[in-house]
Amino acid sequence: MVTSSSSVPRLVVAAPSSGSGKTTVATGLMAALTARGLAVSPHKVGPDYIDPGYHALATGRVGRNLDAYLCGPELIGPLFAHGARGCGIAVVEGVMGLYDGAAGEGELASTAQVAKLLRAPVVLVVDASSQSRSVAALVHGFASWDPEVRVGGVILNKVASDRHEALLREALESAGVPVLGVLRRAPQVDTPSRHLGLVPVAERRDAAVEAVAAMAAQVAAGCDLEALVALARGAGSLPGAAWDAGEALVSSPPPPLPVPSPGAAPPDPPPAPNGPRPRTPPGSSSREVPPDRPVVALAGGAAFTFSYAEHSELLAAAGAEVVTFDPLRDEELPEGTRGLVIGGGFPEVYAAELSANEPLRKAVAGLALGGAPVAAECAGLLYLCRELDGLPMCGVLDASARMSERLTLGYRDAVAVADSALAAAGTRMRGHEFHRTVVEPGAGAAPAWGMRAPERRVEGFVQRGVHASYLHTHWASEPGVARRFVERCRTS
């Protein structure tokens, strides 16, 4: 039976702290329930791009993020319902500790806040490797801290032996929270990490498949799946409609028209559907495309794995034909490309291969220097630089990038400094930075963003049609940026 998205059974997998085993349990649970024939909707609290890749592998569905800082609390329910359409159950993996949110913002963007917004019960994953009776005090504290958060059960992770399990269960009887699973130490389900966390699925496909299968087997053997499904069915109904890209665009303000320079000829109007075809921009092939549906190339592959699914959905709803390409393998941009979106990822890991693909670097440079709209975030920014760790990149920006020992991490409150193909000057958006690289200089003559919090500074580059920055944003919070970008693709 297909359940409507507003009442789909759901639960949130949380933990007292990072490193407790949330990803193992959440991914394993998703895969185990999928193996039982359920259509599982996978979600991740926060801005993380990597875990949703493992969720997608476990369920066969797109992993989606629920971030109350980037999108606002009011969009959590609608975005969840959008992703959960047609599903029989949803599993939401939390972030950090259950009550940890955006620094200095109280509960904002915490797993607890998202659980309350979704009216979903919480399963607490506890690393029990160094405790016995104390587990009861820990669980009692988390279950009673916020009466609006319903901790419906505990999964004990890294349990050493039958004796250890017996001591933990005895202690938890007094806490009043049922034990829904016990997992022993199992190194075979570990996934490798590096400077920004787990290695993405796209970089280790076969090994990732094996890891997800091992997680599923461990969860199926150690957890009471029937009890977990029953708990999920106790979630309350969500009010309101599911988010829809087309409706979001209709309700967002229209993009301002381009302002011509003094003395310059006004821009040509968009051609009529049956009128002349647009010119093919430099760097692309000669295929003609309908002028009312411009091709927007979206970077993908192992080097560019960070992208929110809603971005391509908004671009398509705005009238673009979104075509994914792999900068590691493809020597040309997709036919008829009129705009380019390069999200985040790990270009520093693949710098040599990206540099060796000179034909594509030249195609990207030709497109950008010809004035076509280009939106680049973090990894995309590095790719557009003159060089990365001494290796030639696209050379669109007169800047160099290099690896750094310092991790830059955190939410940002930003405002667009300059008019660009992505945002009108003065547009306020919230974003997230997460990188161990440095770009010098850090901003161009026309910066992309002025950071309002936690520190005041300018960052990024706006030149011709290019908007390049370290800041990751979620376009569902400001759908007009997608419409503005596609409109610029039509008229550039």
Region 167-171: what's the mean pLDDT? 96
pLDDT of residue 2: 46
Q: Decide: residue 274, CB within 10 A, 0-12 exposed, 13-18 middle, 19+ buried.
A: exposed
Q: Is the pLDDT of residue 488 over 80?
A: yes
In order, the DSSP letters of 203-234 are GSHHHHHHHHHHHHHHHHHHB-HHHHHHHHTT
pLDDT tens-place string over residues 131-151: 999 999 999 999 999 999 999
pLDDT band at 200 (very low <50, low <70, confident <90, very high): low
pLDDT tens-place string over residues 436-469: 999 999 999 999 999 987 778 999 999 999 999 9
In order, the DSSP letters of 326-359 are -TTT-SSPPTTEEEEEE-BS-TTTTHHHHHH-HH
Least confident residue range of 264-268, 295-299, 373-377, 480-484 = 264-268
pLDDT tens-place string over residues 395-408: 999 999 999 988 88
pLDDT of residue 288: 52
Q: Is the pLDDT of residue 316 over 60?
A: yes
Q: Please give the model's pTM, rounded to 2 decimal places.
A: 0.89
b/e map of 288-326 (b: 16 or more CB within 10 Å)?
ebebebbbbbbbbbbbbbbbbbbbbbbbbbbbbbbbebe
Region 374-402: what's the mean pLDDT? 97
Find all residues with CB under 8 Å of 355, minimum gap 6, and list them. 361, 388, 391, 392, 393
Q: Is 223 a catalytic residue?
A: no
Q: Is the pLDDT of residue 289 over 80?
A: no
Phi, psi at 479, each rounded to 5°: -60, -25
pLDDT of residue 290: 58
pLDDT band at 205 (very low <50, low <70, confident <90, very high): low
**431 touches 441 (CB < 8 A):** no
Q: Where in the chain is the domain with CATH 3.40.50.300?
A: 5-232
pLDDT band at 271 (very low <50, low <70, confident <90, very high): very low
- Across the beta sheet with 64-66, what order do the strands follow? 64-66, 40-45, 89-93, 10-14, 122-127, 151-159, 179-184
pLDDT of residue 429: 96
Q: Is the pLDDT of residue 192 over 80?
A: no
Rg of the chain's alpha carbons, rounded to an integer? Answer: 24
Percent of residues, the chain, with pLDDT higher than 70: 87
* Pairing of β 461-463 and β 466-469: antiparallel
The better pLDDT of the pair 488, 6 is held by 488
pLDDT of residue 206: 76
Least confident residue range of 95-99, 127-131, 288-292, 412-416 = 288-292
Amino acid at 44: K
Q: Is the pLDDT of residue 276 over 80?
A: no
Average pLDDT, the chain: 89
The better pLDDT of the pair 420, 289 is held by 420
The two tokens of residue 81 are 């319902």
pLDDT of residue 452: 84
pLDDT of residue 146: 98
- Catalytic residue chosen out of the listed positions 71, 223, 378, 385: 378
Least confident residue range of 287-291, 296-300, 339-343, 386-390 = 287-291
Least confident residue range of 13-27, 182-196, 237-251, 461-475 = 182-196
**C-alpha torsion sign, points 201, 305, 98, 78:** negative
Region 300-322: what's the mean pLDDT? 95
Query: Apex CA 22: angle with CA 16 and CA 25, to 5°?
Result: 135
Q: Where in the chain is the domain with CATH 3.40.50.880?
A: 245-258+276-491
The two tokens of residue 265 are 């000829």
b/e map of 226-246 (b: 16 or more CB within 10 Å)?
ebbbebbeebeebeeebbbbe
d(CA 338, CA 318): 14
CATH number of 245-258+276-491: 3.40.50.880
User: By three-state DSSP, how is residue 323 classified?
Assistant: strand
pLDDT of residue 213: 93
pLDDT of residue 55: 95
CATH number of 5-232: 3.40.50.300
The better pLDDT of the pair 56, 271 is held by 56
- H-helix or E-strand spanning residue 34: helix 22-35
Residue 229, beta-bridge partner list: none
pLDDT band at 280 (very low <50, low <70, confident <90, very high): very low
**190 touches 19 (CB < 8 A):** no
Least confident residue range of 134-143, 286-295, 307-316 = 286-295
pLDDT band at 426 (very low <50, low <70, confident <90, very high): very high
Q: Is the pLDDT of residue 274 over 60?
A: no
Closest by alpha carbon to 110, among 56, 154, 66, 78? 66
